[in-house]
Amino acid sequence: MSVQEYLDKHALARKIEDAVNAAVRAKSTDPVLFISNHMKKAVPSAITKIKARQILDSRGIPTVEVDLYTNKGMYRASAPSGTSTGMYEAIEVRDGDKGKYLGKGVSKAVKNINEKISEALIGMDPSLQSQIDQAMMDLDKTENKAEVGANAMLAVSIAACKAGAAEKEVPLYKHIADLSGKDDPVLPVPAITVISGGNHAGNNLAVQEIMIMPVGANNFEEAIQMGSETYFHLKSVIAERCGSNGCNVGDDGGFAPNISSISEGLDLIKEAIHRAGYNGRIKLAIDVGATDFCIGKRYDLDFKIPKKSEQNFKTGEDMIEMYTQLCAAYPIASIEQPFDKDDWEHTKLLSELGICQVVGDDLLMSNPKRIDRAVQEGTCNALLLKVNQIGTITEVIEVVKQAKDAHWGVVVSHRSGETEDTFIADLAVGLATGQIKAGAPCRGERLAKYNQLLRIEEELGSQAVYAGENWRQL
């Protein structure tokens, strides 16, 4: 193609003339820069290159990172990963070579991106999120993305979402809101991890996390202040009562004192809230992670205690009684995964008591079919949204709509294996979920999300809305 043919094909002579005229009208002090920017906007954006690589997550385990290039810039994203994966979630593709990273490498997923996904997406408009996601799903004939990999698809999908926002010249959360048909961004209440247990810490505490929710804050900035101050008061309380070793932290940044009962942890937190001066303004939340200590149809709350004299088994009915007593004694607003992933019966019985929000994690796996069953049967009343369990942003938006149509709560969640990617912060705001779970005010990969939410609130200015006491009614 000759130069003249190229100019004619893309109508560049007319576009250049328009750019020069615009620079004159604007009385630009730097007409060359003005014309360059004007021309850049006049040319439709298209994906020109996708480059994936293997990086390490916050646990030192490999994950996927993607650089997605358009003719206007480069956009980077990475996929988080959990400690355990369930049979009902989308599948991560890992190498399985025990000689490298103990079999947890992701070079196969990287190859799938650099070869299969890249070839399918080159030339596509990054603002067309659903078409991009569908093109990736069309490459995989399995129901759970086992061929291409949910980790591969997710990193690309997030990068494309960032590129789409840039093409529209809007903030990422605004682009996400547009994709979902919403126009009311909301800053979420953070469920801040303060005590870690379960498989996320080396203490004897069976439950995975105990969190604080600053529902009484006036804005997100104050919520983070309340969370941070309470966290450091808790450090002092733990040091006094359990010794300085109790101030070591788990995967999510929560303290890991060597306690064995939930009430011990709640008492420590209750004292910290009192010392911080936030009585009545902070609610509590528990991620039980009960699937990890369910044996048959009973629950072993001493599963981490070595050389125990007898196993502390509880039936489903015993667990309901325990939760009822805890909710009566402490300001608990939310309990996540209170039973095994397949214990629909007792999860429903707890939900029917109406004593707190009951969040489905392993029970649902962010799987539309399981969410539908839970809605139909009234099993729980909130979704824990883990984007890597789904695989694409289009599907994420769909399951959030599914949950909200059922008048459920939605908790956007991090994973134990996180990166510095802040996407879930914008996701929570754009989809107005009202709740986000991103770990402790400690460890950079956790704080990255909270800091991004601070920036978003600052950017929204007087239009910023903090979910606060309305965290369940959005």
Q: What 8-state DSSP symbol labels residue 143?
A: T
Q: 436-456 in b/e burial notation, b at 16+ Cβ within 10 A?
A: bbbbbbbbebbbbbbebbbeb
Q: Which of 254, 207, 248 is nearest to 230 (CA)?
A: 254
Q: What 8-state DSSP symbol labels residue 440?
A: -
Which helix H or strand E contains 382, and what residues bound it? strand 382-385
Residues 6+ apart with CB under 8 A from 317: 346
Q: What is the pTM of this model?
A: 0.92
First to last CA, the chain: 56
Which helix H or strand E contains 48, and what residues bound it? strand 47-56
Predicted confidence (pLDDT) at residue 37 exceeds the cutoff of 80 = no
> pLDDT digits over 169-194, tens only?
999 999 999 999 988 899 999 999 99
How far CA 159 is from CA of 45, 143, 246, 350, 391, in Å, comes to 14, 23, 39, 39, 13
Structure confidence at residue 106 (pLDDT): 96
- Give the whole-number percent of the chain exceeding pLDDT 90: 77
> pLDDT digits over 135-168, tens only?
999 999 899 999 999 999 999 999 999 999 999 9
Annotated binding site for Mg(2+): 287, 336, 361
Q: Which of 202, 323, 327 is nearest to 254 (CA)?
A: 202
331 band by pLDDT with thresholds 50, 70 and 90: very high
Helix axes 423-430, 444-460, angle to 10 degrees: 40
Residue type present at position 182: K
Q: Report the chain's mean pLDDT, rounded to a whole number.
A: 93
Q: Which of 183, 185, 173, 188 is nearest to 467 (CA)?
A: 188
Give the mean model confidence (pLDDT) for residues 277-288: 97
CA–CA separation, 187 vs 8, rounded Å? 48
38 band by pLDDT with thresholds 50, 70 and 90: low
CA–CA separation, 385 vs 400, rounded Å? 8
Predicted confidence (pLDDT) at residue 36 exceeds the cutoff of 80 = no
Predicted confidence (pLDDT) at residue 351 exceeds the cutoff of 90 = yes
Annotated binding site for substrate: 200, 209, 336, 361, 413-416, 437
Phi first, then psi: give them for residue 77, nearest 5 degrees. -150, 155
Judge residue 405's burial from the number of C-beta atoms within 10 Å of its C-beta, 0-12 exposed, 13-18 middle, 19 or more buried: exposed
Known catalytic residues? 252, 386
Sheet of strand 47-56: strand arrangement: 47-56, 62-70, 73-78
CA–CA separation, 29 vs 34, rounded Å? 9
Annotated binding site: 200, 209, 287, 336, 361, 413-416, 437
Q: Count the helix, strand and coil residues of the chain and give each as a percent rounded to the nearest 5.
A: 45, 15, 35
